[in-house]
Amino acid sequence: MNEKGKAWVQVQIADNGHGISPEHLAKIFDPFFTTKPVGVGTGLGLSIAFGIVEKHQGKISVTSEVGQGTRFTLLFPAI
């Protein structure tokens, strides 16, 4: 994949699950954000993933439709 004259490697992970509501979608990369009950999970997983991708000069994005599923797209500079 080429973007602005730079080669990128793209990885997409998708499912056809419940999807993520727009109000939650805006927060999913925030540290400690979770929709789970107190004491279940830490809300750090996607925040950590976001940081790792950025440290490798990459990009991570998500699209989702409630009732249709979710797709995460990760872009990394090709070496």
pLDDT-derived band of residue 39, with 50, 70 and 90 as boundaries?
confident
Could you give the 3-state DSSP secondary structure of residue 33? coil
> What is the reported pLDDT for 74?
98
What is the domain-level CATH number for residue 21?
3.30.565.10
pLDDT-derived band of residue 5, with 50, 70 and 90 as boundaries?
confident
How many independent structural domains does the chain possess? 1
Q: Which long-range contacts (CB under 8 A, 24 or more apart) does 34-38 make?
A: none
Residue 4 has pLDDT above 90, yes or no: no
Average pLDDT over residues 50-73: 98
Rounded Cα distance, 13 and 70, in Å: 8
Q: Domain containing 72: what range?
A: 2-77
Average pLDDT over residues 44-60: 97
Q: Which two tokens stand for residue 34?
A: 């979770």
Q: Which two tokens stand for residue 49?
A: 């993933």
